[in-house]
C-alpha cells in the first residue's frame, strides 16, 4: 500500500506528463506564422505588394524560436514527471516546479502544488 506522499507524487507525475503534452501541442500554434513567413520570403503572395524580406525573416525566426523553446520546456516538464515517479533528482524537480509557475494559469497551479508537496520533510526522505 502506498503512503499518502507516494500517491501525491504519482498524481503530480501524471499531471506533469499531461502538462508537458499540452504544452508541446499548444506551442505548435506559431507554426502558422512560420509558414506565412516562408511564403512571404519565397514571394508566395503576389498580390501587387511584395512583402519585405526582413519582415518575413522576423516571422520565421520568432516563430522558430517560440516553437523550439516551447518544445524544449515541454520535454523538461515530461522528464520532471518521470523523475517524480521514480523519486530521483529532487533539486531538478523543484527547479522545474518554480519554472512552471511562469506558465499561467495551469502551470502556476501545478508548480505551486509541486513546490508545496516537495518541501515536506516526509517527501524529501522519499527522494534520498
Quickly tell me which residue has 499561467 as its cell.
Answer: 104
Given a contact cutoff of 8 angstroms between Cβ atoms, the answer to whether 123 and 7 are in contact is no
What integer pLDDT is reported at residue 94 of this predicted model?
96
Residue range 9-62, pLDDT digits in tens:
999 999 999 999 999 999 999 999 999 988 888 876 666 566 677 888 899 999
The answer to whether residue 87 scores a pLDDT higher than 90 is yes
Confidence of residue 122 (pLDDT cuts 50, 70, 90): very high
What integer pLDDT is reported at residue 41 of this predicted model?
81
| 3-state SS, residue 92 | helix
Q: Which conformational region is residue 116 in: left (phi greater than 0), alpha (psi within -120 to 50 degrees), or beta?
A: alpha
Residue range 60-77, pLDDT digits in tens:
999 999 999 999 999 999
* Torsion on CA atoms 117, 90, 98, 9, rounded to nearest 10: -40
| This prediction's pTM | 0.88
Amino acid at each position: 500500500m502506498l503512503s499518502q506522499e507516494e500517491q501525491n507524487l504519482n498524481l503530480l507525475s501524471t499531471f506533469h506528463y499531461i502538462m508537458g503534452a499540452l504544452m508541446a501541442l499548444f506551442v505548435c500554434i506559431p507554426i502558422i506564422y512560420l509558414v506565412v513567413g516562408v511564403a512571404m520570403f519565397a514571394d508566395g503572395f503576389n498580390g501587387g505588394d511584395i512583402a519585405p524580406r526582413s519582415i518575413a525573416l522576423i516571422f520565421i525566426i520568432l516563430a522558430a524560436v517560440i516553437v523550439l523553446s516551447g518544445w524544449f520546456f515541454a520535454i523538461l516538464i515530461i522528464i520532471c514527471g518521470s523523475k517524480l515517479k521514480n523519486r530521483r533528482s529532487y533539486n531538478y524537480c523543484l527547479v522545474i516546479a518554480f519554472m512552471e509557475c511562469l506558465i499561467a494559469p495551469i502551470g502556476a497551479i501545478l508548480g505551486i502544488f509541486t513546490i508545496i508537496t516537495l518541501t515536506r520533510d516526509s517527501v524529501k526522505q522519499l527522494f534520498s
